[in-house]
Structure 1
Amino acid sequence: MGLVSRICAVLVTIIAFQTIATDAQSQALAAISGGSGSAEKTTTTELPEPLTQDAVREMVARMSDDQVRNMLLDRLDAVAAAEAQSATPAGTSFFGRLHTLWTAFYSNPLDAIVKLPTLLQKQGQAIGSFVAEFGGLSGVLKMLGLTAIALAIGFGVEYLAERLTKRWQRSQPPSDTATLQESLKFLFRRFMREIFGLIIFYFTIRMVGRALLDAQQMTFVAPLVTYLVWWPRLGAAVSRLVLAPQQPAMRLVSLDDNWAKFLHKNLVGLILLSGFTIFAIGFNLNSGHSLAETRLGFWLDTAVYIYIIFIAWTARDGLVELMRGSDPDRSEYDEVVARYYPSYVIAVAILMWVLVTTLTGLGKVDLLLKGAHYTTLFWLVLAPTLDMLVRGLVRHLVPPMIGQGPIAERAYRSTKRSYIRIGRVLIAGIVLVLIANSWDMNIADFTAQRQGFGSRLVEFLMTLAVGYIVFELVSLWINRKLAKEQTSGGPVSEDAAGGEGGGAGGSRLATVLPLLRLSALTGIIIIFTLLAVGSLGIDITPLLAGAGILGLAIGFGAQKLVTDIVSGVFFLIDDAFRVGEYVDVGGTMGTVEKISIRSMQLRHHRGNVHTIPYGSVEKVTNFSRDWVIMKLMFTVPFDTDPNKVKKIFKKIGAEMLADPLFENDFLEPFKSQGVLQFDDVGIVMRGKFMAKPGTQFTIRKEIYNRVRKEFAENGIEFARREVRVAIPGLDHDDDLSDAEKQAIAAGASGAVQAQIEDQNAKK
């Protein structure tokens, strides 16, 4: 009987722990107890009543080994069939699941409508059960009276605490011209005072309530006070901090008085309605009435969403104004978000109603009873306003603009947008974590399991988010450094350069940083894209191998490209040129306008743009590095005193060095270098000056103007080319008669004419 004992033990375990309510099990029982077979099997396999372990042991003891084996096989087959049927429901297909979800969705409100006529009756029964449980009407009235006493004591202690902490708050709010810091200080003090009072109120009623009420009464009073008193008051305090309905000058958001008061009042009302919904559902459950019995929760929850839609639709203009804010640097994205925010709130409310209705129809109400749907709704609606808060903080906390001009303005706006985008990613992550926690989902544990597409998708999104933040931080740092370099030592404008080119270039960082930004951001994108793809479970080894092969192919097939890139790297290392400098590359002259990893672009001062690969550059002549010496030449008649000209040059140099328009451009003042040479016309006098690159042409123009003016004032003329005729034997040239002058003129005219004819003949 050893085999019988073992089979008996197994059979007892199966009968004790497996349900026999399914159809498959019922069929198995029928086959065992009522099917065709021997009379012995029919009489010995009937289950005893009641079904206890002793009765089963006694039944098995009367059976043969074959009967026990057959009965065990039938029982195991039935259990396997039942498990297979439960594991493969009819709705495993996509359309089957859609049908299940649709049925769950519409059956819930349909059931609530069907039970609506009996709602008051069922709710009255729930209240009657509650009254009976707490000792009748007198017991309930006594409990409510004690609750009122506890609340009165709590409010009294809170009032005394506020009086004692009066010094925390100014007696009068700041004036209308108060700064943001003064407004924040006033509002924060008032908010902390209210929070302090609420904490005192909470602990007071908690201690007094435990002293006046028993444990059973506290199960009713504690949720009542929490959801209908404490939470609405906390919400009102937060609303007063942000909206400041009674102090327009202190308001932290862009709203007029009408919408601020409307939103404050209705937000408190919404919190009160939501709290009453949670309290009413808990009240019915504690009174022994299921949710499906009255369907009160469905109607109250629906009222919450309808109230949200009413607020969003009525105050749509105010919400648009709120989301738009007062930042003058709003982007088109900010305008779109502000314009459609009321519609977004309405859509979120409708979707949450659909979700809650479907989950209720599926019977998954455990998390709904904890208010997970309200937490999700709260954070989804609040997320765009947090984005507006980030924009406001960035506007006031971002460092001031560096320098002036369009470059500084573009850099300042780019810096602000980078901070805003980083804040948006962080807000999105925090909101998702809070929503997941409200549904009892730990994202860290979820991703650590690395099982299923859901966990891999979450890890994929987290990797992309981290990569995006790193991308923005690197871009932010480089852009800020680049803006600082460009505004502090940027190239001189064409007006300052006199339209001749040769302006001063930017700094070395201003030249290298754009290439560094491109390389760094490209590397970040590639690295985090590969990490994100790998987090999905995709093997990235073939991608890396393919990238290596592609790199080798490019290296062998594009040697000229490699030459250009390598040459450009060494040119930048040698600091041969910078953006904005005027250079000569193999006879091609122009200002360095743009550099890339392969080539440079030169713009001639007449507008032509030349693109030159680095590999074809043999020599670079830089006209804009450090300093420029310009030498000017002036030709004066032979009878001019050189010392007098030298004094004039020195005077002009001293005057221009003292001129505010030019004093910062000179490195050495304009001065004379004496007589350079004698030519056929006169004496060539030379002067020179040393200046910053890009300013020499403007200085030269001014020197020309001042020299002309000084020469005119001192009776010095510029030498001009003249034709002189020498007549041999004419000794009295100082007192020629008119006839002699006419004869000389005619002779000179004839000589000139003969010279012209001779030149024409030679041609």
Structure 2
Amino acid sequence: MIRFLKLLPSASLFVILGVVVLPSVAAQAADDPSRPIVTKEIDDLITIIEDDGEREKFLQRLRLLKKASEDSTIANTPTTPGATVLQQLSDQVSVAGSRLVQSVETLTTLPGAVVKLFKGLNSTEERGIWLGAIFKILAVLLAGYLTEILIRRLVKRPREAIESTDRETFWSRLPLQIGRFLLELIGIVAAVTVAYALLSATDPGNTTRVIAIALINATALVRLISALMRVALSPRVNKIRLVPVSDETANYWSVWIRRLSVFSVYGYIALETGYLLGFQPELYNVLSSILGLGVLLMLIVLVQQNRRLVAKLISGHNHDSAASLFRKRIGELWNVATIVYLVLVFAVWISDKPGSFLVVVKGSLATIIIIVGAIILGTIVNRLVDRSFRLSDELRTRFPYLEARTNRFVPKIKTIITTLVSLIAVLSILNSWGINVTKWFESELGALITEKVGSIVFIIFIAVAIWEIVSSLIEHTIHRSQSSTERSARLETLLPLARKTLLVVLSVMVTLTVLSELGLNIGPLLAGAGVVGLAIGFGAQSLVKDIITGIFILIEDSISVGDFVDVGGPNGTVESLSIRTLRLRDIEGNVSTIPFSSVNTVLNYTRDYGISLLEIGIAYREDVDQVIEVLKRLGEEMMEDEGLAKDILEPLVVQGIHRLDDSAVTLRARIKTTAGMQWAMRREFFKRMKKRFDELEIEIPFPHQTIYFGADKKGFAQAAPIQIENKPERVKED
């Protein structure tokens, strides 16, 4: 019953409309003096058409009037775009001003029309007619309302089951909302069907039928808008709400949508119905202006109430980028721009230019639909991109650097997709407003530019794809080669150089191709580059030699990062290799940068494996076999040490006596170690050997010096005076 009472103001509007219409129609039929004049003019026109001479004169007059009108139009037509826009604005303002003046003049006649209306209702017959019409209209509305109530009760259980279901995601809630909407739609369709059937059965008059049909259609349209609003917002059921807003926000927007739909739909259909039934044009214009002004004021209030919230949504996160600052400025001015747009739409509404308001409405609705669709499409595509680039655990294990690389390009891909969607949306909006952008693309210039831009984008895309694929393979290869120190060092040297070379080659090729697509003749550029290259080749022979020698050294794998090398002068650990230089750090920490052209020989101490070459000197009196056994035992002890065994490739090998020196017998032994560990092994072996020789009292000889004083002819050596002095003991002082 409450809903039926809510419809009474709208029903009253249409009843008053019918009451106003009948006197105006009667007045036009009885008092309009223009009807006989129109009949006489028609008779005169028939006479002119039937008479050949009169018809020719009439046609000449029409041609003269047409020519004068064309001359006047050409003379008054602006010749520049700015003047055209100003002229159109001036015309719109002039028409709107005329409409406002006419509306004010018509409003001054309304009191008299109201008095005439009430005088007409004093007639018993007239009151009976309109009371019967009102009764029939209310009966039709009540029947439709009761039908909807009945249907709602029949579908109450499935509707409550849908509303009690709790779903988390948008896609799981959407089917429930569609089902709920279909249940409400059944009630609306049934109510409209019953109302039309009862209206046909009662056989009302023409005026009553038009008013009843208009009221039924308006009510059905308002109910349909409310049903769609409940699908999106669900102000009373938040478990299946599609739009992620609070209960307060959902109820706020539902109230405003209901206000706007009721006022605009009932008002517009009432105006059109009144015009159909015989409203005078002046009265129609006044009421339409009032209706448009009411909708304008409601929308302005709605904009002002939400200006801060929308500004915050437009501004987004606070950043210092140019895009963020631009969005912030848009957020600060959006309400002003929207109000200006609404005022302009209202001006078009009251200007009464044929078809202009319909174009604005279609363009505005299409713009809103396109923007919402673009936002939804962009969101869906971005989520698909996130899901597509999400790697499984197996891929993360196999390609540990792949996720970081793909995630680095996900924002760029999203930006490209957002740009494309925005571009398509802008073109669609322009087409919806009658700006046919497609014709420009179909023109010769547009097709040429589109083809060139497409080719350039395709070339850049292919180059980026090649770069990313090669870079990913390089990083994957380096990661897999880390188990082998030697191979990893070489690859860490060669592959970054190959990647840099590929970057240079791709950059040059893409640049030349893009310039060629833009229409530039790259032949002279290539010739100039060849001349420059030749000049550089002659003038920088040392540089070219460095590069070529470096390439061959790297290809032959003579040197890798981490090797300890001697290049015929400086020696040290290789820290880095470029395309033309070698950088070494010696044992004291000094860094040497050596051009490859000055490298004649390379002595690499850390290639494949190392040999700790041991030369041990013992006294002549020592037992050589005993010492060899001691050395072998020391080698076995080192093999048994877990900290040393991993770097010993083969056991100690004693090769035997290497030399007989002046004061020592020199033995030679060797230990095969991993690359770079030979020096550490030799130091460890000598430490252990010294301790063991001290324990076994094996002498490690050192140089001795014998003093010879000479001899006489008889062979006796001259005596050397020796004096031994006893040092006095120190007396301790008390």
Give yes or no for TM over 0.5: yes
Letter in 2 for 1:157: P
Query: Which residue number corresponds to residue 308 of structure 2?
Result: 310
How is 1:55-454 mapped onto 2 (pairs within 5 angstroms)?
55=49, 58=52, 62=56, 75=66, 79=70, 82=73, 88-89=79-80, 91=82, 136=137, 139=140, 143=144, 146=147, 156-160=157-161, 187=168, 192-214=171-193, 216=217, 220-221=221-222, 223-233=224-234, 264-265=246-247, 268=250, 272=254, 279=261, 283=265, 288=272, 293-299=291-297, 301-302=299-300, 305-306=303-304, 309-311=307-309, 343=328, 346-347=331-332, 349-350=334-335, 353=338, 356-357=341-342, 360=345, 365-370=360-365, 372-373=367-368, 376=371, 413=404, 416-433=407-424, 436-437=427-428, 446=438, 449=441, 451=443
Question: Partners in 2 of 1:680 and 1:312 — Cα distance?
Answer: 99
Instruction: State whether residues 579 and 592 of structure 1, in contact with CA within 8 Å, keep that contact through their aligned partners in structure 2.
Output: yes
Instruction: State whether residues 654 and 670 of structure 2, in contact with CA within 8 Å, keep that contact through their aligned partners in structure 1.
Output: yes
Query: Which residue number corresponds to residue 515 of structure 1?
Result: 497
By how many angstroms is 1:557 displaced?
A: 1.0
Question: Partners in 2 of 1:218 and 1:593 — Cα distance?
Answer: 84
Please, what is the CA RMSD of the aligned residues? 6.2
Q: 1:531 to 1:550 in 2, by over 3 A?
A: closer
By how many angstroms is 1:558 displaced?
A: 0.9
- 1:253-298 per-position Cα deviation (integer Å, ceiling 9, x unaligned): xxxxxxxxxx644664686478658856972555548689424554
Question: Partners in 2 of 1:438 and 1:235 — Cα distance?
Answer: 35
Instruction: State whether residues 617 and 666 of structure 2, in contact with CA within 8 Å, keep that contact through their aligned partners in structure 1.
Output: yes
Of the structure 1 ranges 47-56 and 554-563, higher mean CA displacement relative to structure 2 is found in 47-56
Out of 606, 626, 634, the position equivalent to 2:608 is 626
Question: Partners in 2 of 1:143 and 1:135 — Cα distance?
Answer: 12
Question: Partners in 2 of 1:53 and 1:636 — Cα distance?
Answer: 151
TM-score relative to the length of structure 2: 0.60
Letter in 2 for 1:604: R
Question: Partners in 2 of 1:717 and 1:101 — Cα distance?
Answer: 117
Question: In the alignment, does 2:659 pair up with 1:677?
Answer: yes
SS at match of 2:519: coil
Question: Partners in 1 of 2:420 and 2:187 — Cα distance?
Answer: 41
- 1:123-161 per-position Cα deviation (integer Å, ceiling 9, x unaligned): xxxxxxxxx999856655655665566566666324446
Letter in 1 for 2:412: R
Question: Partners in 1 of 2:48 and 2:560 — Cα distance?
Answer: 98
- 1:713-746 per-position Cα deviation (integer Å, ceiling 9, x unaligned): 54445443332457999xxxxxxxxxx9984999
SS at match of 1:370: helix
TM-score relative to the length of structure 1: 0.58
Letter in 1 for 2:525: A
Question: Partners in 2 of 1:478 and 1:490 — Cα distance?
Answer: 19
Question: Partners in 1 of 2:436 and 2:568 — Cα distance?
Answer: 62
How is 1:603-642 mapped onto 2 (pairs within 5 angstroms)?
603-605=584-586, 606-611=588-593, 620-642=602-624
Query: Which residue number corresponds to residue 539 of structure 1?
Result: 519
Question: Partners in 2 of 1:277 and 1:523 — Cα distance?
Answer: 66
How is 1:640-655 mapped onto 2 (pairs within 5 angstroms)?
640-655=622-637
Question: Partners in 2 of 1:640 and 1:744 — Cα distance?
Answer: 35
SS at match of 2:492: helix
Instruction: State whether residues 49 and 55 of structure 2, in contact with CA within 8 Å, keep that contact through their aligned partners in structure 1.
Output: no
- 1:198-249 per-position Cα deviation (integer Å, ceiling 9, x unaligned): 2322333344543443494686056414542112249998998997xxxxxx
Question: Partners in 1 of 2:159 and 2:670 — Cα distance?
Answer: 85
How is 1:491-570 mapped onto 2 (pairs within 5 angstroms)?
504=486, 506-525=488-507, 538-540=518-520, 542=521, 544-559=522-537, 560=541, 568-570=550-552
Instruction: State whether residues 505 and 579 of structure 1, in contact with CA within 8 Å, keep that contact through their aligned partners in structure 2.
Output: no
Q: 1:726 to 1:398 in 2, by over 3 A?
A: same
Question: Partners in 1 of 2:677 and 2:252 — Cα distance?
Answer: 68
Instruction: State whether residues 654 and 669 of structure 2, in contact with CA within 8 Å, keep that contact through their aligned partners in structure 1.
Output: yes
By how many angstroms is 1:551 displaced?
A: 1.7
Task: Say which one has the larger Rg.
Answer: 2
Q: 1:356 to 1:477 in 2, by over 3 A?
A: farther
Instruction: State whether residues 613 and 682 of structure 2, in contact with CA within 8 Å, keep that contact through their aligned partners in structure 1.
Output: no
Instruction: State whether residues 628 and 696 of structure 1, in contact with CA within 8 Å, keep that contact through their aligned partners in structure 2.
Output: yes
Letter in 2 for 1:421: K
Q: 1:403 to 1:62 in 2, by over 3 A?
A: closer
Question: Partners in 2 of 1:703 and 1:75 — Cα distance?
Answer: 120
Question: Partners in 2 of 1:394 and 1:638 — Cα distance?
Answer: 77
Query: Which residue number corresponds to residue 198 of structure 2?
Result: none
Instruction: State whether residues 461 and 532 of structure 1, in contact with CA within 8 Å, keep that contact through their aligned partners in structure 2.
Output: no
Question: Partners in 2 of 1:388 and 1:744 — Cα distance?
Answer: 104
Query: Which residue number corresponds to residue 123 of structure 2?
Result: none
Question: Partners in 2 of 1:338 and 1:514 — Cα distance?
Answer: 35
Out of 564, 580, 583, the position equivalent to 1:602 is 583
- 1:420-451 per-position Cα deviation (integer Å, ceiling 9, x unaligned): 43343334434544565566579999599264
Q: 1:208 to 1:141 in 2, by over 3 A?
A: closer
Instruction: State whether residues 379 and 435 of structure 1, in contact with CA within 8 Å, keep that contact through their aligned partners in structure 2.
Output: no
Instruction: State whether residues 568 and 601 of structure 2, in contact with CA within 8 Å, keep that contact through their aligned partners in structure 1.
Output: yes
Q: Figure out how many residues of one structure are paired with residues of the other and give that number.
A: 592
Letter in 1 for 2:441: Q
Structure 1 unaligned blocks of 5 or more = 1-46, 119-131, 170-185, 244-262, 324-332, 493-502, 730-739, 747-763
Letter in 1 for 2:367: A
Question: Partners in 2 of 1:421 and 1:703 — Cα distance?
Answer: 60
Identity %: 18
Q: 1:523 to 1:647 in 2, by over 3 A?
A: same
